[in-house]
Chain A
Amino acid sequence: NAGVTQTPKFQVLKTGQSMTLQCAQDMNHEYMSWYRQDPGMGLRLIHYSVGAGITDQGEVPNGYNVSRSTTEDFPLRLLSAAPSQTSVYFCASSYRGRETQYFGPGTRLLVL
């Protein structure tokens, strides 16, 4: 199993540009989520999904959209990037939210 994979590893955007961060898992996990990590801080939840077609907001959802059309994939969309979205983004998954969560390697995003 590849586990949780994320692409790209690193991205530079200009203010106002849009992009999609990709996340995939091959463990047949129902629950997937996106977190962001800012310097000197722990991770904060952006959006999560409890299954295909079902998503909900976390602590810091503004400026981000998600959808879940398949069990395997959970992309995160930045509609109009802002410098405040400069961060490291982690995707995570677990079987049904009551077990260990597994994290991807992260995507470093710089918005100029």
Chain B
Amino acid sequence: GIQVEQSPPDLILQEGANSTLRCNFSDSVNNLQWFHQNPWGQLINLFYIPSGTKQNGRLSATTVATERYSLLYISSSQTTDSGVYFCAVVFYNQGGKLIFGQGTELSVKP
């Protein structure tokens, strides 16, 4: 089956720093979604991005489907950005099935 790999597994930042999280996938997919799981366990949608670049405030994402990877950029990080970031690839022919990566755990220190 398809493999979804995220890097780095852990990241510690000082408040105000920038970071790039990477998601590699081993086969063609219909779409890709980024989530933030906050320290209370809630999964928050960030981006739904099959290709190209999208931006939302301090966050942006780029997916290069032909090269099978996606990047999540966090600029001017804040302590509220802490948590686990997941990417998940999407398969339309299975009810929109998501295959998740293992996540990147981000800790932003004040």
Contacts and interface: CB of A to CB of B under 8 A. Distances in A.
Given A88-B41, A98-B30, A42 B97 contact: no
B33 interface: yes
Residue of B86, B88, B97 with most partner-chain A CB within 10 A: B97
Interface in B62-110: 86, 88, 90, 92, 94-103
Interface in A11-65: 31, 33, 35, 40-45, 48-50, 56, 58
Given A33-B97, A98-B31, 20 more contacts: A31-B95, A33-B95, A33-B96, A42-B100, A42-B101, A44-B100, A45-B98, A45-B99, A48-B94, A48-B96, A50-B95, A56-B94, A58-B97, A90-B43, A92-B98, A99-B96, A100-B45, A101-B33, A106-B41, A106-B43
Contacts of B31: 98
Contacts of B33: 100-101
Interface of B: 4, 30-31, 33, 35, 41-43, 45, 48, 86, 88, 90, 92, 94-103
Instruction: Output the residue of A42, A43, A88 with the most chain B CB within 10 A.
Output: A42
What does DSSP make chain B's interface, helix, strand, loop or mixed?
strand
Nearest to A108: B41
Secondary structure dominating the interface of A: strand
B89 to A, nearest CB: 11
